[in-house]
Amino acid sequence: MTAVDRPLAAERVLRPWQDQTLPVAERVDALLAEMTLEEKVGQLGSRWVGNDMQPTDQPDPDPDPDVTLNVAPMQDVFAASGTIPVEEASRHGLGHLTRVFGSGPVTAAEGAAEVVRLQRTVVERSRLGIPALVHEECLTGFTTYGATVYPAAIAWGATFDPGLVERMAAAIGRDMRAVGAHQGLSPVLDVVRDYRWGRVEETMGEDPYLVSMLGAAYVRGLESAGIIATLKHFAGYSASRAARNHGPVPMGRRELMDMILPPFETAIVEGGARSVMNSYSDVDGVPAAADSWLLTDLLREEWGFTGTVVSDYWAVPFLATMHEVAADTDEAGVLALTAGIDVELPDTLGFGPHLVERVRRGELPEALVERAARRLLTQKIQLGLLDQDWTPEGSVSAAATVDLDSPANRALAREMAERSVVLLDGGTALPLRAAELRRVAVVGPAAAEPRAFMGCYAFPNHVLPRHPGLGLGLEAPSVLDALRSELPDTEIVHERGCDVRGEDRSGFAVATAAAREADLCVAVVGDLAGLFGQGTSGEGCDAEDLRLPGVQEDLLAELAATGTPVVVVVVSGRPYALGEVHAGAAALVQAFMPGEEGAAAIAGVLSGRIQPGGRLPVQIPRRPGGQPGTYLQPPLGVNSHGISNLDPTPLFPFGYGTSYTSFEVDDLLISDAEVPTDGEFTVSVRVRNTGGRAGEEVVQLYLHDVLAQVTRPVRQLAGFARVRLEPGTSTCVRFHVHADRTAFTGRDLRRIVEPGDVEVLVGTSAADLPCRGVVRLTGPLRVVGRGRRLVTPVDVDVDVDPAAGKQEGRDAGQS
């Protein structure tokens, strides 16, 4: 009987690697002992069957030859170069199947049928019948047709709510598992270093601790559903020179270790992530895909990571074609495998049959091939793919009943959107006084465009531009729709005014006329996400400066000149410089791509139905130039006392956000004046709701190393807690701070806890820190590594309101 004729699950002899009573390691050993060298190499590759660059629905009759609709860098080039059929690719086995659901518009049933077809091919065409692992994108939800589009990751940052992020990720994972997927290519743990970078929308902000806590929460949620979480982009991608996608990263190792790497370590140690994806960039001249210090010495030997490292799409051949550190794709494969990449995505190029030939010629140790194969086979066994009763049909059995945009999903998306909207300034106009509004003009290029709420990896922006006849594939109202529902007794008129991009001002006149005749104008401006230059935000959509795209700022200036109060709502994937905008606005709201439920969330915040509770995960700059400049700066990075004429002070600081009530943070108590360099102290404050409405505040703890052997940030987030309080009530928030939380990379590149004074600051943003004290660390300098404390635990008391008899202070999300 040939491999092709062999029944899938009809084997009656239980092979050792199928025996679920044996430890996983023993099963992997037994399988590797049975495998040929060709079969081991086969596990290191992948196949993207859906990589078809031709639109299938209503092709453009007048296409622009300079415009491609790629969903991965240089996808059109690799698609045109030709790839082998999956039948041939599976002859010795296959590691991964790439984006079965995420390459074109298929229903859950259609995608499941394709998974079955492809898995059957992989199993039947290979001698040992090892199924492939199916991976998909899942940054703003499962990236497939008709699946829920949650807010973009930058909006998760605005929630400061790890628990909510974890619940969202678990829901995403359940949907993916139901249709036969095994690995999700999220979360993005890049820490923002330059707001001009197009992929800011995919990050969770500019602070490594915030990204660590939310990223680990996402990992826990996804992994709880049985989906392998993939940490990306490892590492340094967000710090490219001039914010250019794939640009070189001029960064020293100390900055890399203190600012960029902590979220990855935390997501592995605290979240349990099982996969890592390399960055496209080079750091100080060394491409990540060929960096054995990064992928092996640090990741595995120092951090103890045992999962798989997968290449970002075509990162292996890019070592030859983009970085020019390898002579050709074959040599690039050797470099990547040696450095520590285990599986090449999305198609096999550098990890092909030439690896077999090199091993047999003595040019490549077989141990490197076996090392990578062992890591992937371990995961396949953990996922149940090598259990005797596994079948392709069984792996997708839940697809027939799954609802990828279920009411429960939409409720989660709504909660995330509502919690992420940031009220920057309520001014004189918010909350809206509906009874006084006879007519409202809703103006701006994002007002009637629900795609503005979605990131570049949301399916409607990621794939559907190639299929314009299919619309969004789900229900997603616009702000215009939502305001008409929110204000049923008010006449709502709409004018676009201008496009998101371009220089066309022909719509200004009718827009300003509409504003002039209204009692209030709501101007909705910002971004439209796309890929590789096809949007104002997203992968390959970097910005020259931080002025609102196109002529939107000019439109806002003309609207303000009408004399009608203008409420400005910025829906964007990055922070824009809003100094001039703020000066002319009656109120200012920031919504970071809030997903399919974003319109109702924005309308609810404007009307006052929803109490705004979002906080800035990135600063809002005052002016469009003089960047980059995140809040994490050493002394010379802040206002330089007249030494420079450029003032980097932001318009709104990191962690900032207001609401329709008010809070006070006071009564600072630090448990110890001195603690040893391996000790712990407690910081407590009382937060009070001094306003007239219930609301949520994010209490933030910052630390400042007063004197260190290297320059340190003037303040850095070390803990936070989101608390809800009724008016007139208060609660006590306690942070338990281990001395490890002050660790930094010293001059000799070892991570150390240094004795000396540490300033403790608590408040509601990086600039509003009314509670200040000092703790002295005593004793010897400590070198710390694996096992050090990465998290600051927080307790929130439950107080009793004596007037109402209500319990308050419920912790809505802490770290």
**Which DSSP helix (H) or strand (E) runs through 39?**
helix 37-42
Residue 10 confidence (pLDDT):
46
* 725 torsion bin: left (phi>0), alpha (psi -120 to 50), beta (else): beta
Kindly provide the b/e burial profile for residues 118-130, where b requires at least 16 CB atoms within 10 angstroms of the residue's own CB: bbebbbbbbbbbb
pLDDT tens digits, one per residue of 598-612: 999 999 999 999 999
Ranges under pLDDT 50 in the chain:
1-5, 7-10, 53-54, 56-67, 800-813
Q: What share of the chain is helix, strand, coil (3-state, %, to 5)?
A: 30, 20, 50
What single DSSP character describes residue 501? S
Inter-residue contact 534 to 455 (CB < 8 Å): no
Residue 153's closest CA among 204, 195, 212?
204
Position 11, amino acid: E
CA atoms within 13 A on the CB side of 285: 0
Q: What is the pLDDT of residue 51?
A: 80
How many other C-beta atoms can be found within 10 angstroms of the C-beta atom of residue 329? 19
- For residues 743 and 788, the answer to whether their CB atoms sit within 8 Å is yes
First to last CA, the chain: 58
3-state secondary structure of 206: coil
Q: Given this model, what pLDDT does residue 705 score?
A: 97
Predicted pLDDT of residue 110: 96
Q: Which two tokens stand for residue 593?
A: 């791509």
Residue 672 to residue 253: CA distance in whole angstroms: 34
Report the pLDDT value the prediction gives residue 328, as an integer from 0 to 100: 96
Give me the DSSP letters along 524-565. Answer: EEE--B-STTSSSBSTT---SSSSPSTTHHHHHHHHHTTSS-
**What does DSSP assign to residue 298?**
I
Q: Which residues contact 66 (CB under 8 A, 6 or more apart)?
A: none
3-class secondary structure, 97: strand
**Residue 639 has what pLDDT?**
72
Q: What's the pLDDT score for residue 75?
A: 55
pLDDT at 696: 97
Q: How far apart are CA 601 and CA 90, in angstroms?
A: 48
Rounded Cα distance, 527 and 542, in Å: 12
Helix (H) or strand (E) holding 441: strand 439-443
- Please give the Cα distance from 153 to 214 (Å, whole number): 10
Pairing of strands 439-443, 491-495: parallel
* Model confidence, pTM: 0.94
DSSP-assigned beta bridge partners for residue 571: 526, 591
- The 10s digit of each residue's pLDDT in 739-752 is 999 999 999 999 99
**Total count of residues recorded for the chain:** 815
